[in-house]
Amino acid sequence: MILRDCLRTALFGLTGLLAIPIANAAATQIGVIVPESWPDKAQAEEIRNGMLLSLKTWPGQPAPPLVINDSACHSAKSAAAARALIDVKFDVVLGCWCMLGSVPKI
């Protein structure tokens, strides 16, 4: 149930991005924060694969790159991962699903 909700949220986020007209998709960067090392590596792989599948339907070519950072379901690690992506000027940062409400807005 939780896995299905995570995948639905991830795919909904990327589907929303597909509706946004972007002048230069190659310059767009998408960062994702998933729980790769804990609690379930298979869950992170399914989230990643779902997002990559969604990007295969990106309107126009090339699709923006997807960069994945690990959160380990830890709010401080998630905030640091998000901050790292924001600091290098990523256009979109998705993630922190396993600690909703505990990561500060940045």
Domain span holding position 92: 2-14+24-99
The answer to the question of residue 56 being in a domain is yes
Q: Is residue 105 part of a domain?
A: no
57-98 pLDDT, tens digit per residue, is 888 778 888 999 998 888 888 888 888 998 998 988 888 677
* Contact (Cβ atoms closer than 8 angstroms) between residue 77 and residue 69: no
The predicted-structure confidence for 28-47, as pLDDT tens digits, reads as follows 889 999 888 888 888 889 98
15 close to 54: Cβ distance less than 8 angstroms = yes
pTM of the model: 0.65
Q: Which residue has the higher pLDDT, 14 or 76?
A: 76
* Residue at 71 is within a domain: yes
> Does any domain span residue 28?
yes
pLDDT at 7 > cutoff 70: no
Closest CA to 71 of 93, 49, 52: 93
